[in-house]
Structure 1
Amino acid sequence: MFAARPYEDVLMDDIAQQAGVSRALLYRHFPSKHALFAAVYQQAADRLLAETKLDPTDSLVGQLVQGMDIHLDYFVANRHAVLAANRVLAGDPVIQTIMTGELDALRARLLAVLPLADESARRTVSAVLKSWLVFVQILVVDWLTEQTCSRTELRDICVGAVLGALRPLLPADLVPNWPQLAAGRAGA
């Protein structure tokens, strides 16, 4: 229900009825709508992480495109839940912990597949990735609200942003010229 309706419009009575359980039973397991949302959101974050498998044998671009596509598919299908977590409940510490955990896990996975020369490079790339993940989060929330570009353009903007930020830090063969590559992909 959180995916189908705005958070404010979801009622615990409706959830209990749809689940075929009593309201009392629902409240026994989830003392509030917030607690239920947090549990559902954590489960979704875990599922997204499980689906986002980075393969070091694939190109960096391929891994980024695949990861963005998986996340964008989820965000589109669960628009209301994503907006609730990032707007209505944005200041909630439980929701923030879930988001931070997911972003940290994604950053760690990306770091694990990148050939970094030393600890200094690792720290710098880690900071770039953390900043990029927050950029993607903010841009996607805005896109879900405004739809200012196509889904493909959004994905390509996000991939291009991180490639541009990583270009000075990684070997040239790992970070291709994205605008030309993206244009070639669009024509294919």
Structure 2
Amino acid sequence: MSPADPGPRRPARRMSPEARRDHLVDTALELYQRLQPEDVAVEDVTGAAEVSRALFYRYFPNVDALHVAALGTVVDELVSRVALPADGSLAEQLAVAVEAFLDVAQQHARAYVALLRSGSVISTGETDALVDGVRDHIVALLVERGGVPDPSPWQLMTLRGWVALVEGATLTWLRDAGTGIGRDELRDWLVAQLFGLLEVTARRDPA
């Protein structure tokens, strides 16, 4: 063996199939910290995870399927963490929920941007469905806490519009980090925006 020859690949640690799949997903999320998701190739994942290509293809048919699984993990974290606590005023509850949303989005910044960016090469019907799931979750939380089991079209439009505002503002904040807007400022502004939108809606909607 020549000195330049790195030798055979170190045998992969023994893992259950579930743990191995999770390991590949976690590896992709770690790679997203320094690479754009669309730039992550199978070779990047197998090298970082120290597994063979054959093992990779045992769990995923292609790198796009891995992207969907990894982005799904981010979405699952958003859904599990974004909640309205039982205590405090509505503004305080919203602040907690928005803080959790911003925390996850910032922690997985590249993945979040890729998930929402229009025209992203990893954007598919599956990733769009993941994003819709987060939106539906947030709207359902607001409807439930607002005590409006049958919201009017105006009310639903307001809530969905606010969720779109949260997404767009967070996307801009992450991509233009030099704006000088702090996370606490953004959180408080987003909370105030919802109350402002609801006030406008209340003047138009008898419900």
- Compute the TM-score of the two structures, normalised by the length of structure 2: 0.73
Q: Residues of 1 paired with 2:155 and 2:88: CA distance? A: 19
Give the secondary structure class of the aligned counterpart of 1:58: coil
Superimposed CA distance per residue, residues 65-104 of structure 1 (whole angstroms, 9 cap, x where no aligned partner): 1111111111112111111112224752111110001110
The residue type paired with residue 164 of structure 1 is: G
Count of residues in correspondence between the two structures: 168
Task: Establish whether residue 20 from structure 1 lines up as the match of residue 50 from structure 2.
Answer: yes
| Residue ranges of structure 1 left out of the alignment (5+ in a row) | 171-188
Q: How does 1:3-152 map to 2 (within 5 A)?
A: 3-87=33-117, 88-89=120-121, 91-116=123-148, 119=150, 121-147=151-177, 148=179, 149-152=181-184
Worse-superposed segment, 102-111 or 28-37: 28-37
CA contact (8 A) 1:90 1:96 kept: no
RMSD: 2.1
| Residue ranges of structure 2 left out of the alignment (5+ in a row) | 1-30, 203-207
State which structure, 1 or 2, has the greater radius of gyration over its C-alpha atoms: 2
The residue type paired with residue 141 of structure 2 is: R
Q: Residues of 1 paired with 2:122 and 2:155: CA distance? A: 27
Displacement of 1:169 in angstroms is 5.7
Tell me what 1:161 maps to: 193
The residue type paired with residue 38 of structure 1 is: V
Identity %: 28
Runs of 4+ in structure 1 displaced over 6 angstroms?
none
CA contact (8 A) 1:4 1:78 kept: no
Give the secondary structure class of the aligned counterpart of 1:95: helix
Q: 1:64 to 1:141 in 2, by over 3 A?
A: same
Q: Could you say which structure has the greater relative contact order, defined with CA pairs below 8 angstroms and 6 or more residues apart?
A: 1
